[in-house]
């Protein structure tokens, strides 16, 4: 059912920050590099400066995405400290299914978002997150896909449960 009030909803897609090269351990356990930690904090500061503080965070359970979210959170807190008090802490869900997810899987995850959330941050991996952005706005999506610590801001008036289209309104590559 379409939201009669037409509440504007914001979806921020974030590809995880720069991770260590694959090694002998499982890929899901690869940590961020020093640059990745710095860039994730820069992403959080950018989100705070633009008033894009999430109500809900959906984050892949992989180590590098969790570390990216923690850096984003530190960056948002630091920016909020300079600008004034931050809002309430978001609901955070670590989603094992977001690792190696296809766009349809990520879309299904988005559709499970609580209806009252107005801003959602999804932290995930390529190629799924880039393909989700292209699925939601095929005309404006970057054909090269998201690079590490790329943020793409989508807006829609559809309820999360009906999400199938959301216009890209901003892009940013966070670098410290």
Task: Evaluate if residue 53 carries a pLDDT over 70.
Answer: yes
The gap from C-alpha 129 to its chain's centroid, in whole angstroms, comes to: 9
DSSP-derived letter for residue 28 is G
In this prediction, residue 6 carries a pLDDT of: 76
The band of 127, judged by pLDDT with boundaries at 50, 70 and 90, is very high
- Scanning the structure block, which residue is given the tokens 């009669």? 4
In this prediction, residue 45 carries a pLDDT of: 96
In the predicted model, what is the mean pLDDT of residues 134-139?
Answer: 97
CA–CA gap between residue 114 and residue 42 (Å, rounded): 28
Q: pLDDT above 70 covers what percent of the chain?
A: 92
In this prediction, residue 128 carries a pLDDT of: 97
Compute CA distances 171 → 2, 58, 62, 97, 161, whole Å. 27, 19, 24, 25, 24
- DSSP E strand stretches across 16-166: 56-60, 91-95, 119-124, 150-156
- Answer for the pair 174, 39: CB distance below 8 angstroms, yes or no: yes
65 vs 25, higher pLDDT: 65
Beta bridge partners of 58: 93, 122
The sign of the torsion formed by the CA atoms of 79, 130, 9, 113 equals: negative
Helix and strand counts by DSSP (H, E) for the chain: 4, 6
- DSSP E strand stretches across 28-166: 56-60, 91-95, 119-124, 150-156
CA–CA gap between residue 174 and residue 171 (Å, rounded): 10
Compute CA distances 56 → 21, 22, 121, 145, whole Å. 30, 30, 6, 24
């Amino acid at each position: 059912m379409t939201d009669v009030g037409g509440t504007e909803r914001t979806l921020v897609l974030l590809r995880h920050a720069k991770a260590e090269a694959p090694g002998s351990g499982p890929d899901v356990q690869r940590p961020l590099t020093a640059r990745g930690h710095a860039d994730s904090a820069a992403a959080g500061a950018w989100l705070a400066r633009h008033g894009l503080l999430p109500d809900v965070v959906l984050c892949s359970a992989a180590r590098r995405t969790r570390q990216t979210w923690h850096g984003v959170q530190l960056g948002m807190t630091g920016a909020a400290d300079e600008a004034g008090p931050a809002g309430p802490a978001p609901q955070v869900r670590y989603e094992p299914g977001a690792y190696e997810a296809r766009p349809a899987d990520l879309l299904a995850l988005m559709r499970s978002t609580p209806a009252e959330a107005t801003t959602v941050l999804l932290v995930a991996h390529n190629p799924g997150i880039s393909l989700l952005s292209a699925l939601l706005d095929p005309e404006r999506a970057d054909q090269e896909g998201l690079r590490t610590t790329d943020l793409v801001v989508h807006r829609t008036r559809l309820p999360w449960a009906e999400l199938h289209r959301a216009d890209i309104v901003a892009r940013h590559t966070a670098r410290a």
